[in-house]
Amino acid sequence: MTIKILGSGCPKCQRLYANALDAVKQAQSSATVEKVTDMSEILRYRILSTPALVIDEKVVSTGQLLSAESIVALL
């Protein structure tokens, strides 16, 4: 499983990345978590706001700072 955090590197994006890492630990998952800051790559997902959370190439959240618990539920 691959989890991507799409964003420019803003504080919300960084916090979502940290929450995703916490979620992977809580779920005892072997998922990898990646930051995507390249704007051309972000635009490929056709999102209107960041940060965005992508799980296995499916956009599951945009413009929200999800908690680790919320991310675990999505996994």
Tell me how far apart the alpha carbons of residues 52 and 66 are, in angstroms, rounded to a whole number.
Answer: 10
**Is 10 among the residues known to form the active site?**
yes
Active-site option among 13, 20, 53, 72: 13
**Is 13 among the residues known to form the active site?**
yes
Active-site option among 1, 2, 8, 10: 10
Active site amino acids: 10, 13
